[in-house]
Chains A and B, each alone.
Chain A
Amino acid sequence: MVELSEPFLELSGITKRFGSFVAVDDVNLEITEGEFFTLVGPSGSGKTTMIRMLVGMDQPSDGEMRLQGRVMNDLPANKRPTCMVFQSLALFPHKSVGENIEFSMKIAGKDKAKRRARVDQLMEQLRLPLSYYDKSVTQCSGGERQRIALARALAFDPQILFFDEPLSALDFRLRKALEKELKDIHRETGKTFVYITHSLEEAMVMSDRIAIMRKGRIVQVGTPHEIYNTPKNKFVAQFMGEVNTLSVEKAGENTLKVTGFDEIFTVTNDLSDFTTGFLIIRPEVMKIGKSAAGMKNKIKGITFNDYALGSRVQYQIRIDHFDEPWLVERLQDEPYEGRRGDTVDIGWRPEDSILVSS
């Protein structure tokens, strides 16, 4: 965790309108020097528009962006001390690996020997073979191209490094490896990273803090831990992955009733300000069969499907008058002992309930 201090990059009231469409709506954010900050949102949430304004390729319709206290709204991209790794990587196909990496230094008029020394240093840091200097970028593999793009951006020595979903086109294994590598590089360089992705999972792995965007607005900002454990609303909770969501209303001091039905569940959440909202239970805290027997919150249903998720198995349980099936997950090496079509108990501990009001 990075210690929170005075804001390095400060956004106040950032708004971007395209005609009558508001792509980014009054965004206020403070990003601290040296942190790994990730903007997460589904496609169309405005995150790409957001980053294009941050790099200087688009101008905000309203609001102010300050980097170290200096307003940079009107600075064009080539005058900003920031740099971006593109979704398409945007490597220059007619230049070699070395020429790509040293591009910003050539532009700045640095002499050849200095450029070469820095390129070698970066290639070493990013584990690119030094012999690649003269190799054409079009002959490099996906992972290598990612590293070249990152090296090219680092060579610029930016105050903030932006990332526009650069890993989204890669296969799962390579993406996982590069996520960790990126986090290592963040630690080694100590630079401020601002990352954009549609995958909260990816954000969780790398980020110090995460901002969740929806329809041009920031829904929640917090550490991965905070986002996971105390989602602010249904959208954030469901964005994390598959969850059981119930529309509920307050029934007693620590009990909730499912809206429209008779089931009563016990929770440990503070209900003093709560009237109606949503009860969210993650599939991995749900118990099934014998292990659900002694649970305080318990309900009967019929298992009708199971899916192998790799390390876990997911069961879908049909329960009378619930439209959606309930999801229960167990570790793959301790599966549920029953068969498909069995009537079973499923349940969860009151303290595993997540409650949101909207």
Chain B
Amino acid sequence: MAKPSQSDKISWLKQPGVLAALPASLFLIIGFAGPLLLVVGYSFMPSKTFSLLQAPTFENYTSIISDSYYISFFWSLAMALTTVVLLFIICYPIAYGMARLFNRWANLVTALIAIPILISENIRLFGWVLILLKNGIFDGSMQSLFDMSISGLLFTVPAIILGLVYVYLPFTLFPLVIGISMVPEALKEAASDLGATRWQIFREIELPLSMPGLMIGGILTFVLVLGSLAEAKILGGQAIVMIADDIESSFTFAQNWPKGSALSVLLIALSGTIVFFLFKRVDLDRVIGRR
């Protein structure tokens, strides 16, 4: 009787997939779950200490309010929301064209939008600095062509938004293309046949049915902008401080790991909650028609 029980013990290992998933699981435990737990642990340690073996405290969290870090949270949320809304407006027509109208040109458009991703984000942002700079490409051109100076573009909130929209466009666009391609042409024809105008077809058929792509693109962009740093630093200068900036300086300049950890935990909780409620509000399965 000992034999079967022994084989029972290792039988779960023999199930298809378990062994195959092992390397990835180990990697995720060491590289993702572990550090995350460390961050959570540090967030309860006394300020400006480096040991995890101390009595837990809430001081890092309480000081976030008193030290007015909520302003950085607010800016990050505002930037994320603005970027998502602007990107929806910009990307929907492009995505529609790529999914429905461009046909064989769609691949070219895809390539044109995708190729810049191969270049480091920071380098591309410095490119924008050169364009927006006082006496830079834009300002200089305006001076020589129309004899008027438009300076003061750089280090402003709109410049940051421009950078965010520019960098995260593909993350909204490509899920949106997939979302729009998922709407069968026959459904739109049927709606038109039943008397619907173009706008009604969009509102009643296309928008709800492309919602999965819209949601995924929107959430992806939102979460990425929430944690973004480079745009505000490079194009914004001192205009605003976003939360990722605060986290970075806590860990580096201030050497205050517990404070940085507490801010990180709050940011993760915030974006996690938002994503959770968004997914809950829009039932993706129902939208796709699987239920």
List residues of chain A with CB under 8 Å of any chain B CB: 55-57, 76-78, 80, 82-84, 86, 88, 90, 92-94, 103-104, 106-108, 136, 138-139, 152-153, 156
Contacts and interface: CB of A to CB of B under 8 A. Distances in A.
A31 B189 CA distance: 24
A146 B279 CA distance: 32
B287 A84 contact: no
A108 B194 CA distance: 9
Given A90-B189, A106-B204, A136-B291, 6 more contacts: A78-B193, A80-B193, A86-B189, A92-B191, A104-B195, A138-B289
Interface string B181-196: 0001011011111111
B286 interface: yes
Contacts of A83: 193-194
Contacts of A94: 208-209, 286-287, 289
15 contacts: A57-B192, A57-B193, A76-B192, A77-B189, A77-B193, A78-B193, A78-B195, A78-B196, A90-B190, A92-B190, A104-B194, A106-B204, A136-B286, A153-B194, A156-B195
10 nearest A-B pairs in the assembled complex, by CB-CB distance: A93-B289, A90-B190, A104-B194, A90-B186, A78-B192, A77-B192, A138-B289, A107-B195, A107-B196, A77-B193
Given A93-B209, A94-B286, A103-B204, A88 B194 contact: no
Contact of A139 (B192, B208, B291): B291
B106 interface: no
Q: Helix, strand, loop or mixed for chain B's interface?
A: helix
Contacts of B186: 86, 88, 90
Contacts of A86: 186, 189-190
A103 B193 CA distance: 11
B184 A88 contact: yes
B32 to A, nearest CB: 35
A90 B204 contact: no
A138 B187 CA distance: 14
Interface size class of B (residues with CB under 8 A): 20 to 34
Contacts of A77: 189, 192-193
Q: Helix, strand, loop or mixed for chain A's interface?
A: mixed
A82 B200 CA distance: 18
Nearest to A93: B289
Nearest to B201: A78
A107 B194 contact: yes
Nearest to A136: B291
B197 interface: yes
Nearest to B185: A90
Contacts of B190: 84, 86, 90, 92
Contacts of A82: 193
Nearest to A153: B194
A108 B195 contact: yes
A106 B197 CA distance: 12
A145 B186 CA distance: 16
Interface string B264-291: 0000000000000000000000111111
B195 A90 contact: no
B205 interface: yes
Contacts of A93: 209, 288-289
A78 B188 CA distance: 11
A57 B193 CA distance: 8
Given A78-B197, A90-B184, A103 B191 contact: yes
A84 B195 CA distance: 11
A218 B290 CA distance: 42
Nearest to B197: A78
B104 to A, nearest CB: 17
B11 to A, nearest CB: 38
Contacts of B288: 93
Contacts of B208: 94
B187 A90 contact: yes
B284 to A, nearest CB: 11
B258 to A, nearest CB: 48
